[in-house]
Chains A and B, each alone.
Chain A
Amino acid sequence: MTAAAIDRTAVAPAKAGAHAEQIWAWLAEVSDPEIPVISIVDLGIVRDVQLAADGACTVTITPTYSGCPAMQVIADAITDALHAHGLQDVRLQNQLSPAWTTDWMSEAGKAKLQGYGIAPPAQQVIDISGLRAGVGADGALAAISRRAQPRLTVACPNCGSRHTEITSQFGSTPCKALYKCLDCREPFDYFKCH
């Protein structure tokens, strides 16, 4: 939670040592409970893996949304997976800052979403660290002004058309919105930029 920790370039998961590499590979096999085609590593939920000398393994995860009901399932799945691979002492640590962003989703993860029929996040997330650094009242107002919002172009995951429109800002899970394609007429889920 230090100032340095919110530097977006410094948040790439640190992989230390061969054992940690192995644990990362095991974690990459743990599916997201709500979107089973992508793993929790693809999603960017796993932030760090630490292996202590006594064999204790600490996995640091970050929630996607504050109230995401999948987080407990994910925590259990991580523990179960590592136990199954013979790690006895597994500890989970929840980290709120820096806040999870869809920018951390891997390119492979985005491709898998697309193949599954969910349009991946369409743009880089607007950096909110400026608000924190004290841009002040104007910055805070501009971030929610109706005039300032650029229109997102979301490509249909079925036919590739960019001729789509939003039907609902919220979808079946907190991380998705509902769109429909105006060319192939298919409705589809869109993974919101966050």
Chain B
Amino acid sequence: MQNKVNYLLRLGDNALILSQQLSQLCGKGPALEEDMALTNVALDLLGQTRLWYEYAGELEGAGRDEDKLAYHRDAHDFKNCLLMEQPNGNYADTMVRQFFFDAWHYFLIVGLTRSSDARIAAIAEKSLKEVTYHLRRSGDLVVRLGDGTEVSHAKTQAAVNELWMYSGEVFAYDAVDEAMVAEGVAPAADGLRAQWLAHVAEILGEATLAMPPADAWMQKGGKQGRHSEHLGYILAEMQFLQRAYPGATW
């Protein structure tokens, strides 16, 4: 049971931290349409976070609801992958991070719709249409930026090169992930990674961008609670109110 709780918390943490990053762009998007899109994606991810946390809290049975899980945990308790906590940077950085995430998220969610856990399958079924829409959009944007001007191409290629080392952690399964695969709850890493590589290669190719080597060395540690310095700043802002006024409600 502890493995499933941890697995659900990871799903929630990945969605929440990326949602929080995208929310920071509200009112600051490079164009009105992009601003709305980023915040709508953030909202979808926040909604999915609530569904994962709610289930994790129920299974754990320790009285932690979605708010406690989001606001009352410290950085080392968060198990999101390092990719999701990378800074927004320029717009190419934001969109390449989004595309790498969306491509993994989409194939993962497709896999989770077939989960042996009926509740996880239901949450995945609910999320799938949203996640599909996200991936189509971020793939389109990467093609437009990569196959755009000289400047947008250079910035997007730089973002791909820079973020590549964070793209592999989602496929680096540990004991928690493997236990979920063994129970039929989660899809295996190999299949997901092959699908991710195939789709990323297709989009980067169309975007006239060079794809870094698939066997490049990858950063890891987020899943085990070892984070970059960025997460502390994200949590400092997100958790401020509950830390300053514990238990405050509307």
Interface residue ranges, A against B (CB under 8 Å): 1, 6, 63, 65-69, 96-101, 125, 128, 131-132, 134, 137, 140-141, 143-146, 149, 167-172, 174, 178, 192, 194
Contacts and interface: CB of A to CB of B under 8 A. Distances in A.
Consensus secondary structure, chain A interface: loop
B125 A132 contact: yes
Contacts of B119: 1
Contacts of B73: none
Nearest to A166: B33
Given A132-B125, A170-B37, 17 more contacts: A67-B43, A67-B46, A68-B47, A69-B43, A97-B122, A99-B125, A131-B110, A132-B121, A134-B114, A140-B110, A144-B106, A167-B33, A168-B36, A168-B37, A170-B36, A174-B43, A192-B133
A73 B40 CA distance: 18
B201 to A, nearest CB: 11
Interface of B: 32-33, 36-37, 40-41, 43-48, 50-51, 106-107, 110, 113-114, 118-119, 121-123, 125-130, 132-133, 135-137, 139-140, 143, 191, 194-195, 198-199, 202-203, 206
Contacts of A169: 33, 37, 133, 137
A178 B33 CA distance: 9
Contacts of A172: 36
A182 to B, nearest CB: 17
A99 B114 contact: no
A144 B125 contact: no
Contacts of A125: 129
Contact of A194 (B106, B129, B139, B194): B129
A168 B119 CA distance: 33
A131 B44 contact: no
A178 B135 CA distance: 18
A66 B47 contact: yes
Contacts of A171: 36
A65 B130 contact: yes
Given A97-B125, A146-B143, A141 B195 contact: yes
Contact of A143 (B37, B125, B132, B137): B132
Contacts of A67: 43-48, 50
Nearest to B203: A146
Nearest to B118: A1
B211 to A, nearest CB: 16
B127 A137 contact: no
Contact of B199 (A97, A132, A144, A194): A144
Contacts of A132: 113-114, 121, 125
A38 to B, nearest CB: 20
B143 to A, nearest CB: 7
21 contacts: A66-B47, A66-B130, A67-B47, A97-B125, A97-B126, A99-B128, A128-B125, A132-B125, A134-B114, A137-B194, A140-B106, A144-B106, A144-B132, A144-B135, A146-B139, A167-B33, A168-B36, A169-B37, A172-B36, A174-B40, A194-B129
B140 A146 contact: yes
B232 to A, nearest CB: 25
B40 A146 contact: no
